[in-house]
Amino acid sequence: MRTLCASTLIGEFFVIGFAGLVAMKSDDLSSATVWTVCGIGMLLSVLLCGVITRPGGVQLGWALQVVLVASGFVVPTMFILGLVFGGLWWASVHYGRKIDEAKARWAAQEAAQAPASG
């Protein structure tokens, strides 16, 4: 699960940065505001890569997905990109857990067979 989720989060890192460049064109927002908010989002996406397997890591990832969709109020394209990354996040968590379960089953089968063949 960690690899799939981290890949999604790194993709979000770049999307948040590019959204910041688009938000810079807004006359309503200062550069400092845009880069403070985007910088925090980018930092969180990278930090989440390290804590994704810890308790609450997946929930923090979901919170980031909600914020990503909500950023569509500033950069309308982010509504679409936020939903796309929300789907990628769901798939990363869902299929990542299935892969982890399959690896655990395989490791258990290997461990059970090792004494019999040795």
21 pLDDT above the threshold of 80: yes
Q: What is the pLDDT of residues 30-89, one digit of tens each?
A: 999 999 999 999 999 999 999 999 999 999 999 999 999 999 999 999 999 999 999 999
* CA neighbor of 38 nearest in space, from 25, 51, 21: 21
Predicted local confidence at residue 115, as pLDDT: 75
In angstroms, what CA-CA distances link 111 with 17, 79, 102?
46, 47, 14
pTM: 0.86
CA dihedral 85, 86, 88, 90 (to 10 degrees): 160
116 pLDDT above the threshold of 70: no
Predicted local confidence at residue 11, as pLDDT: 97
3-class SS at 41?
helix
Predicted local confidence at residue 114, as pLDDT: 78
- Is residue 5 a contact partner of residue 61, using CB atoms and an 8 Å limit? yes
Better-scored residue on pLDDT, 22 or 115: 22
Predicted local confidence at residue 118, as pLDDT: 54
